[in-house]
């Protein structure tokens, strides 16, 4: 799966659960929140003050 800023958190959890650790490592502990399921990486990063490009790069490694 290729990730971008429009990828939804729910898609990551469902299709690439091994990548949840990447989200947790950058401080995005919202992966268990029901609201995050429909939130994009860009939206989640904005809420948490995280650079979305860095997260996308880490997810795609």
Give 42-59 pLDDT, tens digit per residue.
Answer: 999 998 899 999 999 999
- Residue 28 backbone phi and psi in degrees, to 5: -95, 85
Is 90 exceeded by the pLDDT of residue 36? Answer: no
- Residue 13 backbone phi and psi in degrees, to 5: -60, -40
Give 1-28 pLDDT, tens digit per residue.
Answer: 899 999 999 999 999 999 999 999 998 8
CB atoms within 10 A of CB 20: 15
HEC string of the chain equals CCCCCCCEHHHHHHHCHHHHHHHHHCCCHHHHCHHHHHCEHHHHHHHHCCCHHHHHHHHCC
Is 90 exceeded by the pLDDT of residue 30? Answer: no
Q: Would you place residue 37 in the very low, low, confident or very high pLDDT band (cuts 50, 70, 90)? A: confident
């Amino acid at each position: 799966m290729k990730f971008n800023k429009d990828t939804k958190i729910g898609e990551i959890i469902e299709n690439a659960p091994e990548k949840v650790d990447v989200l947790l490592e950058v401080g995005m502990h919202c992966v268990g929140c029901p609201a995050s399921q429909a939130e994009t990486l860009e939206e989640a990063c904005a809420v948490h003050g995280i650079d979305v490009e860095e997260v996308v790069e880490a997810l795609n490694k």
